[in-house]
Amino acid sequence: MKTYESNGWFKMVEKEEYEYGCTGTAQGFAGNERFSSDTLEGLIDKINAFVGNDDHQNILLDSGGEIGRVDIQVRETDDGYPAGKQDFTAWRAGEQELWLACYTFHCEKVERKEATGLSRLKIGQAAH
Count of C-beta atoms within a 10 Å radius of residue 55: 10
Question: What integer pLDDT is reported at residue 3 of this predicted model?
Answer: 95
User: What pLDDT is attached to residue 28?
Assistant: 95
pLDDT mean over 53-65: 91
Give me the half-sphere count of Cα atoms (radius 13 Å) on the Cβ side of residue 35.
22
Element (H or E) spanning 47, and its range?
helix 40-51
- pLDDT tens-place string over residues 76-128: 999 999 999 999 999 999 999 999 999 999 999 999 888 888 888 888 765 55
pLDDT tens, position by position, 7-48:
999 999 999 988 888 888 889 999 999 999 999 999 999 999
Chain centre to alpha carbon of residue 22: 21
- pLDDT confidence of residue 119: 81
pLDDT of residue 125: 67
pTM score, whole prediction: 0.84
Q: How many angstroms separate the Cα of 33 from the Cα of each of 24, 39, 91, 128?
A: 27, 18, 30, 41
Please tell me the predicted confidence (pLDDT) of residue 78.
Answer: 92
2: which residues sit within 8 A by CB, 6+ positions away?
Answer: 38, 109, 110, 111, 112
